[in-house]
Amino acid sequence: MIVADKKPIEEIIEEIKDFKKILILGCNECVTVCEAGGKKEVGILASALRMYFLNEGKDVDIDERTLERQCDHEYLEEIRDIIDGYDAVVSLACGVGVQFTAEKYFEIPVLPGVNTCFLGATEKRGVWTERCQACGQCILAFTGGICPVSRCAKRILNGPCGGSSKGKCEINKELDCAWQLIVDRLKALNRLEDYEKLFSIKDWSHDRAGGPRKVEREDVQL
């Protein structure tokens, strides 16, 4: 899922300090799972902000709403009838949701309430780690199911580099060396001879380098 982290409240206050009617808009999916932007976090942020503005002597209305997702038109349409009552929206969705909301409600500032971090998994409650960088050309079949693009700090395709030490990456002793993991997995799968196959130069044009990407499926379009 998309993993995000709460923005410090001071940053959000700075973003909204000139507005008078604010809607805090949450999302029921990824940001709920990583406890950054779901209904509960919306409530906490709204309550804290109300108290802040009261203490500042400022008359600010703060409302709360959580949508199923902010990356689909039909859910965003649900606030069409109330949006004109606000002069700013703080979206606690990931960067996708913030932008999609802003595109749809063009005349109203839509501000981010979380920092979108990466595509990752829940290792355990409160700990999320990166697994995928959406390079557009998945090579997991050849690396024992472990991705060197997202899990190697140098995204080396013929690793490890000389800095791998006791299974950890040179940049951080807590970070697993992706290539150690790949070697371990190839061993477990009895395919260590695959290690010597040379990975050819990657086509990064399917990655961010190729520009903003699009997936089009004519078979499901009307």
Element (H, E) at 149: helix 148-151
Min dist CB 91 to another protein, Å, is 19
| Strands 88-91 vs 61-67: parallel, antiparallel or unpaired | unpaired
> Is residue 161 part of the contact set for another protein (CB under 8 A)?
yes
Q: How far is CA 68 from CA 30, 37, 74, 115, 119, in A?
A: 10, 12, 10, 19, 19
* Binding to another protein in span 43-82, by CB under 8 A: 43-44, 47-52, 54-57, 59
How far, in whole angstroms, is CA 206 from its chain's centroid?
19
What is the per-residue binding string for another protein in 183-202, x denoting contact by CB under 8 A?
x--------x--xx-xxxx-
190-154-93-27 Cα dihedral, nearest 10 degrees: 10
**200 vs 221 by CB, closer to another protein:** 200
Binds another protein by CB under 8 A, chosen from 166, 174, 216, 220: 166
**Binding site residues, another protein, CB under 8 A:** 9-10, 40, 43-44, 47-52, 54-57, 59, 153-167, 170-171, 177, 180, 183, 192, 195-196, 198-201, 204
